[in-house]
Amino acid sequence: PCVPEERQFYEEAVAQVAGTEARERYLNSVSGDLAPSREVVLLELAVDYNATLRIEEADGDAIKLVVDLPLEGLQN
């Protein structure tokens, strides 16, 4: 089950990952003095691996986080 607070976190994180400032947010998160944010893993997938993320509804109170990774053309 996904409580409403977690659902909101994932919805906001996926929206930010798709935004134009994703790279800047990622670099600030990993290079700053503060502890990395919870969204840093999602940002890393988008920035370093060119992944696209989306949320899909699932049964009950669950959500499905879908991460599409391009398997060709990765430079890492």
- Say what the pLDDT of residue 73 is: 66
- Say what the pLDDT of residue 2 is: 87
pLDDT in tens, 27-57: 888 887 666 678 899 999 999 999 999 999 8
Is the model's pLDDT at 76 over the cut of 70? Answer: no
Which of 1, 11, 23 has its CA nearest to residue 65? 11
Averaged confidence pLDDT in the chain = 87
Domain boundaries, given as residue ranges, for the chain: 4-68
Average pLDDT over residues 22-31: 88
CA distance 49 to 34: 24
| 3-class DSSP string for the chain | CCCHHHHHHHHHHHHHHCCCCHHHHHHHHHHCCCCCCCCHHHHHHHHHHCCEEEEEECCCCCEEEEEECCCCCCCC
Tell me the residue type at 28. Answer: N
